[in-house]
Amino acid sequence: GNIQVGLFVGSLRKESFNKKIANYLISIAPKGYEYQLIEIGQLPFYNEDLEGDKLPAVYKEFRATIEALDAFIFVTPEYNRSVPAVLKNAIDVASRPYGKAKWNKKPAAVISSSIGAIGGFGANHHLRQSLVFVDVPTMAQPEAYIGHVAKLFDEQGKLINEDTAKFLEDYLAAFSTWVERFVKK
Ligand code: FNR
């Protein structure tokens, strides 16, 4: 079957540039892969008191979703030089209960973007810090820090920058090579 890749976007807003990048990636998913956007905005803040009888259905569903995926792509903005809380929360939710983390050993990539020049570098690397702990082997190269993201899309949300399109295509080719080191299907 196809290799199942979940895409996580660290922004909830409708017109999110990061969501536009994720949707573009989905539109160019390599052959043999199924890319899908995974919702994270429905998850209540992680609270260990909810484990057990009171476990929210959305936690259960989310953990099952993560378990069924083979690989992950995180596409995130930077909030105050770090990872948006909603994305950190999603990682936390599927990292518990202790010993039953769903992220384990599945390959990933991190793409950050920003309306500014630095391209979300701080968020990109803070996210990698958490991914080390949940044992997610994250592609080192190529790195993806997409700056001035607002200039890359038209009013309809279409990617209009050819260099970025080529970069993302090459990025996914490298990611497939990375994934196939871990996933045999
Ligand atoms: C930002 N933004 C931002 N940009 C940046 O480059 N570094 C930063 O530390 C921050 N901090 C920050 C905090 C908060 C709370 C918000 C809402 C925004 C700006 C950010 O790059 C911009 O809003 C992007 O458009 C957010 O990504 P989406 O929502 O378009 O995907």
Alpha helices in 85-120 (DSSP H): 85-93
153, 139 contact by CB (below 8 A): no
Complex ipTM value: 0.99
pLDDT computed for residue 185 by the predictor: 86
Ligand 1 centroid to residue 149 C-alpha, Å: 11
Alpha helices in the chain (DSSP H): 17-27, 57-68, 85-93, 121-133, 162-179
Ligand 1 site, residue 165, Cβ cutoff 6 A = no
Mean pLDDT within 25-36:
98
**pLDDT tens-digit profile of 106-132?**
999 999 999 999 999 999 999 999 999
Ligand 1 site, residue 118, Cβ cutoff 6 A = yes
Ligand 1 site, residue 151, Cβ cutoff 6 A = no
pTM for the full predicted model: 0.98
Ligand 1 site, residue 112, Cβ cutoff 6 A = no
Which candidate, 87, 63, 89, 57, places its Cα nearest to that of 75?
Answer: 87
Q: How confident is the model at residue 179 (pLDDT cuts 50, 70, 90)?
A: very high
166, 24 contact by CB (below 8 A): no
The residue written with tokens 């871990």 in the block is: 182
pLDDT computed for residue 133 by the predictor: 97
pLDDT computed for residue 94 by the predictor: 98
91, 130 contact by CB (below 8 A): yes
Ligand 1 centroid to residue 120 C-alpha, Å: 8
Which candidate, 74, 70, 89, places its Cα nearest to that of 19?
Answer: 74
Q: Which amino acid is present at 82?
A: S
Q: Which CATH architecture has domain 3-179?
A: 3-Layer(aba) Sandwich (3.40)
Ligand 1 centroid to residue 39 C-alpha, Å: 19
Ligand 1 centroid to residue 35 C-alpha, Å: 25
Q: How confident is the model at residue 104 (pLDDT cuts 50, 70, 90)?
A: very high
Q: How many CB atoms lie within 10 A of CB 110?
A: 25
